[in-house]
Amino acid sequence: MKIQIINGPNLNLLGTREKDIYGEITFEKYLKLLKEHFTDISFDYYQSNVEGEIINKIHKIGFSYDGIILNAGAYTHTSVAIADAIKGVNSPVVEVHISNVFSREEYRHVSLIASNCLGSISGFGLDSYRLAIESLRVLNKDKTDSK
Ligand code: DQA
């Protein structure tokens, strides 16, 4: 099973940025733990602060991966273009947030991408990514079993 993780703007600063909200560890360190935990899954990781680059990545891998885990950061709340990109590809996308966006400022309560995603996971810290992977694994197993 092949999963692409995509992190959007400012998520390159994990471990440094607003530690009370986003935690103390870098994504690179966390990714290492994920890879050790899910030895049966192959992961690719991409981070960009640029909206168009995130869209290009979704187009590039969105027809061949078993799932995409997308933390679009602040673009979640603003980007029709990323929402359209998700709709335009075949791979299922799980929307992920580290913080509970619904307990924060009102402008974070709106997600323009959510309705084009398989589902959304928000508020479990970095563990949100693990939960997203679990959900894609179940989906993939169901698909394989029904063949
Ligand atoms: C975030 C929540 C967004 O509102 C914010 O702009 C981020 C991170 C999260 O993971 O909690 O950059 O997506």
Could you give the domains of the chain? 2-145 (3.40.50.9100)
Please tell me the distance from the alpha carbon of residue 65 to that of residue 125, in angstroms, as a whole number.
25
Locate the ligand 1 atom nearest the alpha carbon of residue 71 and give its number: 13
pLDDT of residue 144: 85
pLDDT of residue 111: 98
- Which is the catalytic residue, given 30, 65, 75, 97? 97
pLDDT of residue 146: 87
Tell me if the pTM is above 0.95.
Answer: yes
Which residues of the chain have a pLDDT value below 50? none
pLDDT of residue 122: 98
Lining ligand 1 with CB less than 6 A are 10, 71, 73-74, 76, 97-99, 101, 108
pLDDT of residue 147: 81
Q: Examine the residue annotation and report whether 97 is marked as an active-site residue of this protein.
A: yes
pLDDT of residue 143: 86
